[in-house]
Amino acid sequence: MFYKVKKSTSIIYSFALILIFIVLDQVTKYLAVQHLMNKDDIILIPGVLQLHYLENTGAAFSLLEGKQLLFGIITPILLILLTYVLIRLPQNKKYTLLNYIIIFVIAGAIGNYIDRVTNNYVVDFIYFSLINFPVFNVADIYVTCSVIALFLVILFYYKDEDLEEIKQRLLFK
């Protein structure tokens, strides 16, 4: 999709998708606040999956709890770098997957950043009780799955010359 249109149109598509994914994340968090805050958990699959309201002052899975200033500095820097990569990415079919990965990371980072800026915490509400997995949210899913996908495509999909092409584009060579 991104490689079949002009670069400017591709960038508009990318940012439209980012906006859609952010809205989806924020709507789910709004619903969690409305229906879960100060209420009993909602059991979806007994012993496996439930909705549980949690105010998380850390990163994904409560890592670095209480380090709001650190997140306030690192997140905008990360977003600027990722946006630069997204814009400079070669417009070629083989980089479409990477384009989507970056879109999801940006959407997840912005989704949780909105919470941190407005509330000083992130609303988490999905809990896999079967394995006692940390409570998380939709933005965490975006970021976690995208980072895993990024490692996999770098290891198994892209060749050295593909990564070199990306590097050259990022360095204006």
| Residues taking part in catalysis | 124, 140
- Which CA distances in Å does 61 have to 16, 56, 149? 28, 8, 19
Q: How far apart are CA 111 and CA 11, in angstroms?
A: 19
Count Cβ atoms below 10 Å from residue 26 Cβ, excluding itself: 17
Query: For the stretch 139-149, what's the b/e string if a residue is b when 16 or more beta carbons lie within 10 angstroms of its beta carbon?
Result: bbebbbebeeb
What is the DSSP annotation of 54-106? Answer: EEE-SSGGGTTTT-HHHHHHHHHHHHHHHHHHHHHS--SGGGHHHHHHHHHHH
